[in-house]
Amino acid sequence: MEHGFTRLLRACGYMATGMNPAVLRRREGLEAVAAGFEGPPRGETVSVGDLSIHYRSHGRPDGDAVVFVHGSGPGASGHSNFRKNVDAFATAGYRVIVPDLPGFGYSSKPTDRDYTTAFFSEHLVGLLDALAIPNFALIGNSLGGAISIRAALDHPDRVTGLILMAPGGIEELETYLAMPAMAKMISNFVDGALDRDGLRRVLETLVYDPVHVTDALVDERWAILQQQPPEVLSRMIIPNMEAELSEIRCPVLSFWGADDEMLPASGGFKITRACKPARHIEIAQCGHWVMVEHTRFFNAACLDFLANG
């Protein structure tokens, strides 16, 4: 069976060009490190199965746990997605855990297995087991939203709340292929190797205002990209979980940018129709990264939801 992201690339004409998915890796390679590009700050690691999972911890060790689950894409990490959010939650008294998913950040990046939602969820929950965290709220963006949905379905007794920002995994692949940013992303991939300028163009497809794609963000993701094998994307499989949404038992808050060109905003209404209790917020002049583009509002709304349901 053809893997999800490989099928996406083929459908967009990428594989027909004769280019190998390895171009998603470095053109300048380790020269990026020599040139002084600085990666995300380092935290701690734990072993989950045969993988090393990197995470950063913030806030009160005895506070209620909130876990931020980042999205996909070249050079992604927990810090690059949530650098603007963790301090507000830590200041509010929560124990904040920001992991790097397998294949991303400073976590292990195996090339011999499929990157499925079940695989990601297993290692996310395994990290929390290693940290002796029995119950937790999940805050997930895009791929991280899909993983959070899977974890809430598989561990209903442990997930106390679910905050989703434009989650994947609730549409068929053909719906995602029809989104404009998908075509833009693929065109940047096929326009030669993904160099630093190409990475910036990819990230700019995720926001309404490109001012949010800073030099520091690009440098940080570029440094991680040098370590990221193409299998992380080419072997990623995210099934449609729409039919299971009604089985989620915890309260759900969802966000979507009205100008999101990566994942269709209609997904928010699927969540509110299926999940009880649930509420949905759609934000104008916002793309795929509500937590980055409307930080203050996002933080305040999440903290109110966590405190009051």
Asked whether the predicted pLDDT for residue 271 surpasses 80, the reply is yes
For 271, the token pair is: 């969540």
Contacts of 87 (CB under 8 A, 6+ apart): 58
Q: Is 294 a catalytic residue?
A: no
Q: Which of 149, 161, 112 shows the shortest CA–CA distance to 247?
A: 149
- The pLDDT confidence band at residue 176, using thresholds 50, 70 and 90, is confident
Residue that has been written with the tokens 């990046």 in this structure = 109
Domain residue spans in the chain? 4-308
Report how far apart, in Å, the C-alpha atoms of 83 and of each of 41, 80, 178, 194, 250 are: 10, 6, 30, 24, 26
Of the candidates 54, 79, 288, 294, the residue annotated as catalytic is 288
- Reply yes or no on whether the pLDDT at 73 is more than 90: no
Comparing 71-85, 178-192, 286-300, the range with the smallest average pLDDT is 178-192
pLDDT in tens, 194-222: 789 989 989 999 999 999 999 999 999 99
Mean of the pLDDT values across residues 8-33? 42
* β-strands 136-141, 65-69 pairing: parallel
Confidence label for 233 from pLDDT (cuts 50, 70 and 90): confident
d(CA 111, CA 103): 9
The chain-wide mean pLDDT, for the chain, equals: 88
pLDDT at 34 over 50: no
Print burial letters for 186-207: b (CB count within 10 Å at least 16), e (below 16): bbbbbeeebbbebbbbbbbbbb
DSSP letters for 5-60: HHHHHHHTTSGGGT--GGGGS-SSTTHHHHTT---PPP-EEEEETTEEEEEEEEE-
Is 60 exceeded by the pLDDT of residue 165?
A: yes
* Spatial contact of 5 and 236, defined as CB atoms under 8 Å apart: yes
Percent of the chain scoring above 70 in pLDDT: 85
Angle at 83 between CA 291 and CA 21, to 5 degrees: 85
pTM of the full predicted structure?
0.91
Distance CA 290, CA 165 (A): 7
More confident residue, 195 or 46: 46
Beta bridge partners of 58: 96
pLDDT at 220: 95
Helix (H/G/I), strand (E/B), else coil: 116: strand
CATH topology assigned to domain 4-308: Rossmann fold (3.40.50)
